Amino acid sequence: MGLITSAGIGSGIDLESIIEALVTAERRPKEISLNRLEQRTNTTLSGLGKLQSALSNLEDSLANLTEANFRTRTATSSNESQLTASANYLASETNFAVTINQTATYTELSTNVIAGDATTQLGAGNLTFNSTGGETFSVAVGATDSLADIVYAINNKSDNFGISATLVNGDSGTKIIYRGIDTGDNADFTVTNDNANLAQISDGNGGALNVDSTAQNASITVSGLTISSETNTFNNPVQGVDLTLADDAVAGTVNVNVTKDKQAVKDNIQEFVDNYNAFIQIANQLGSAQDGAEGELLGDSTLRNIVRQVTSQISNTVGSANPDFNTLSRIGITTERDGTLSIDSTELDSILNSNFDAVGTVFYATDGIGTSISTAITPYEQLAGLIDKREESLQSILSQIQTDRDNLDYRINALEESLRSKFAAVDSLVSQFNFTGTYLEQQFAALSAKQSG
């Protein structure tokens, strides 16, 4: 007799419920255990991700409190409509005058007015463009090419070294304007032809273009030295300082002042305080033991250790710093009761104005607070660091949980199949007993009826 898949049909006994109860009793405890482990693991992973993000932000802000950042300089111009200036950490605090001699320009050539319009044809020939710097390209003009076709061919020539052609249409005719994209002495160019057909739009064979502008270098004078640039930007004419002339700048003198960028430093300190406070707040949330709001890393040793190591640096005294400014509290940064930091902006401004370098030493010195916090964070936050390794371990646990689930499914399916096989035999046997009983009852009933008759 085959396996009965709906147990109890033959016997009338609810064997299906019995099998379901036995299977559930075997699966449920193991499934609950796996679910709890998976939930705890995912919760810990989530918490570690938040912790690592907070540490990464804190580390980024510390990277802006290095010695190079405290050497940041700002440059201001007395006339920014004529000249703008910028400075980097290599610049010294200084003030100097810049004499503007000339701006950088590009070459612009134009044709005389040509009778006709964009469809006008001039005839066959070749236009050749040569730059002062030795670059060249040619455009072949066909007999039926229009002025519009010629302009298109110039602008789309693959070896065009930086010449744009523009067609201008007017009431009395049309003209072509050739303009160099680049500025500087080496950006001048000529347009020549090899056929008088093209004399109206080039030099040679009786043709002559109008010179509307000639390419030249920009030129300035600083401390008696003349400095040239192919563009209106001068890179490092004074160490650590870049200067840019306005395109329409005129001859004259502009003063440039280079100072320590105190606002940039203050902004970087504020960013550090903000990210430190965010770290403290996130750490408190992750380790919270409040009923109904337990933190994702409650009781976790990784959280406990990193918080202890970071917070212990905040109150450090920097031995290499000026004794009057060797702690955070002495430069206007104090610790609140909840562990966060706050800045007395007025006090910090005053110290930056009077003892700028002393503030930097508190952060970037070898024994500085910024250096110490960064040293504490690095083993946890770095690639393949303690948090990454912890996360890898937790991911392995999740993989094992899935393997255990698959194995559990396999065992439960095997158990159910075994139970169905066993109960099928019982069901068949009971069914046979029932059939035999019914048959005997019928025989006894027939015999009794016969005796009665």
| Shared domain check, 2 and 117 | no
- Structurally, how many domains does the chain consist of? 3
Helical pair 301-314 and 386-452, crossing angle rounded to 10 deg: 160
Sheet holding 108-110, edge to edge: 163-170, 173-180, 108-110, 210-213
Assess contact for 284 and 347: CB atoms under 8 A.
no
Q: For residue 4, is pLDDT > 50?
A: no
Domain range for 16:
1-71+262-453
Assess contact for 396 and 404: CB atoms under 8 A.
no
| Shared domain check, 339 and 439 | yes
| Shared domain check, 166 and 52 | no
- Per-residue pLDDT tens over the stretch 432-451: 656 566 656 766 666 677 66
What pLDDT shows up at residue 294? 86
226 φ, ψ (degrees, to nearest 5): -85, 130
| Shared domain check, 79 and 8 | no
| Shared domain check, 302 and 381 | yes
Q: For residue 2, is pLDDT > 50?
A: no
| Shared domain check, 208 and 67 | no
**What is the pTM assigned to this prediction?**
0.70
- Domain end marker among 152, 187, 213: 213
d(CA 453, CA 447): 10
- Domain end marker among 213, 237, 270: 213
| Shared domain check, 2 and 13 | yes
d(CA 125, CA 138): 10
Q: Look-up: residue for tokens 């096989």?
A: 421
- Per-residue pLDDT tens over the stretch 85-125: 999 989 999 999 999 999 999 999 999 999 999 999 999 99
| Shared domain check, 256 and 291 | no
| Shared domain check, 204 and 240 | no
| Shared domain check, 303 and 409 | yes
407 φ, ψ (degrees, to nearest 5): -65, -40
Question: Residue 141: which CATH number?
Answer: 2.60.40
- Per-residue pLDDT tens over the stretch 399-433: 999 999 999 999 999 988 888 877 666 666 665 65
Q: For residue 379, is pLDDT > 80?
A: yes
